[in-house]
Structure 1
Amino acid sequence: MIAGACAALAASPVAWRQEPEPTYEGLTFSSHGRPIRAIHYRPVGEGRRAAIVMMHGSGGRIRNAGPWHELAMRFAGDGYEVLTPLYTDAFADDGVRPPRMMEAWRDVGEHAVDWFIARGVDRRRAGVFGYSLGSHVAVDGALGDSRAAAAIGVAGGVDVYTPRRPRRRIPVLIIRAGSDTHVLPRNTAAWVDFLRDHEVPASVEVIDGAGHLFTPPEWAEVFARSAAFYAGNIGRPED
């Protein structure tokens, strides 16, 4: 009897339903007349009706593979629209990084947030995220003329670049790599102290044992900490 049932089951094809996944596409938008390449990620359905702009690290590239892409897909899977601009399109990185270069890069983040707002995202539901050099570009820009409502900086510190006096007071999360030898813990702490001294509500999370270059499990931890922060700010259910 059991053998007969197993044979019947084997003879009947089972239709497996694959859950829909976030989608993505390449695009360009403008920052001071310059075309900025980016990848736009979309959640399944309406999602949270919130958006995140992700600013890559030094030497970063944007492509549909690797940890940066996978992190963007995680955010999209959590219900956010995501844009990953190649901000060096605005000003090629020569390693010296004069003020006008940093300003051009910060403006890319600002204009990426504006791009989302122009397409219907409420400014209170737009955030920025940055890693290493991009952590400064994202957070310092968000505290300047940007309309972002929350910011996250990962593996950054005052040795990346000298922060400007904040013009805005929005929630900021700084995520530090516990064993970072590229951006030293004291330099991350100095950045946090600077933000708090200027009345920016900055919180800190530490990825224990992580170096400056994260492993896949450490990137997963970065996502978990970031997702919790965004969920309490830009990703909260709408009233």
Structure 2
Amino acid sequence: MPTRRAAVGVLGGVALATLGGGAVAQVAPFEGVTFDSGGKSIRAIYYPAQGDARGSGVVMMHGSGVRIRSAGPWHELALRFASDGYAVLTPLFVDAAPDDGRRPAPVMAAWRRVGLDGADWLASRAGVAPERIGLFGYSLGSYVAVDGALGGGRTGAAIGLAGGVDVYTPRNPRRHIPVLVIRAENDTHVKPLNTAAWVDFMRDHEVPVRVQTLQGAGHLLSARQWAEVFTRSSEFFDGNIGRR
């Protein structure tokens, strides 16, 4: 276990669920890990696939200001993916370069590299093929995940949640893997117009992209809306990287 994990609340352990009558059942184990990306040590949480493992994985790229910890909606989303048979990695990509808000090209490149290096690490650790790994990102992480996956690496699909061209200007894609864009209907942080422009850009460059809308959602999601994000994401991944 990495000695620095406590700084971001990364703890090895087992997630528990309360059943009827107060009984507690094991849901999914997880552990704090580190991997190298561009000469930097990147902290992350690793969630092994549970139950009927798919032989697939998901790398989750967080939003701006988020810190990786073993609690909260990001952790719970990772647990849902793991319980659905995916090996999951949630890296703290700002370990590669701090976020000063200006985000010059070298910083964005370092963050994108974390996603691709994280996918390679997950492939090796979980024993899955890189093309059966998907990148998932929220807000700032949506650009990091999707633009990174379209620009290089070997991952098989990508999902961008609550992202758009106002996050950063996308690069011409080098790959044409399936992409799902999930937009929040009432997002005032990443405006729907800018999400639409991102989708149009990808379609103009022959990227197979689907768009789905979280009705009534703003940029910050409720527990019910995060559960809907999982349902939509799982259905999308199940049609490509997650096929058993």
**TM-score normalized with structure 2 length:** 0.88
Write out the 4+ residue segments of structure 1 that deviate beyond 6 Å after TM superposition.
none
The match for 1:70 among 69, 76, 79 is: 76
Q: Deviations over 1:53-111 (max 9, x none)?
A: 00000011100000000000011111101000000000011010000000000000010
Does 2:107 align with 1:108?
Answer: no
Query: Which residue number in structure 2 is paired with residue 125 of structure 1?
Result: 132
Query: Which residue number in structure 1 is paired with residue 189 of structure 2?
Result: 182
Does 2:64 align with 1:58?
Answer: yes
Question: Partners of 2:35 and 2:243 in 1: how far apart?
Answer: 28
Q: For the Cα contact (< 8 Å) 1:20–1:44, is it kept in 2?
A: no
Say which is worse superposed, 71-80 or 117-126, in terms of deviation: 117-126
Query: Which residue number in structure 2 is paired with residue 8 of structure 1?
Result: none
What count of residue pairs does the alignment treat as equivalent?
223
Identity of aligned residues (%): 63
The match for 1:200 among 207, 212, 219 is: 207
Q: For the Cα contact (< 8 Å) 2:57–2:123, is it kept in 1?
A: no
SS in structure 2 of the partner of residue 53 of structure 1: strand
Q: For the Cα contact (< 8 Å) 2:137–2:161, is it kept in 1?
A: yes
Question: Partners of 2:236 and 2:88 in 1: how far apart?
Answer: 16
C-alpha displacement at 1:32, in angstroms? 1.2
Q: Deviations over 1:109-143 (max 9, x none)?
A: 01001112223211221100000000000000000
Larger radius of gyration: 1
Say which is worse superposed, 222-231 or 119-128, in terms of deviation: 119-128
Q: For the Cα contact (< 8 Å) 2:36–2:42, is it kept in 1?
A: yes
**TM-score normalized with structure 1 length:** 0.90
Where do residues 80-99 of structure 1 align in structure 2 (5 Å cutoff)? 80-99=86-105
Letter in 2 for 1:102: M
Question: Partners of 1:155 and 1:61 in 2: how far apart?
Answer: 18
Structure 1: runs of 5 or more not aligned: 1-15
Query: Which residue number in structure 2 is paired with residue 140 of structure 1?
Result: 147
Query: Which residue number in structure 1 is paired with residue 179 of structure 2?
Result: 172
SS in structure 2 of the partner of residue 236 of structure 1: coil
Q: For the Cα contact (< 8 Å) 1:130–1:153, is it kept in 2?
A: yes
C-alpha displacement at 1:22, in angstroms? 1.4
Where do residues 218-229 of structure 1 align in structure 2 (5 Å cutoff)? 218-229=225-236
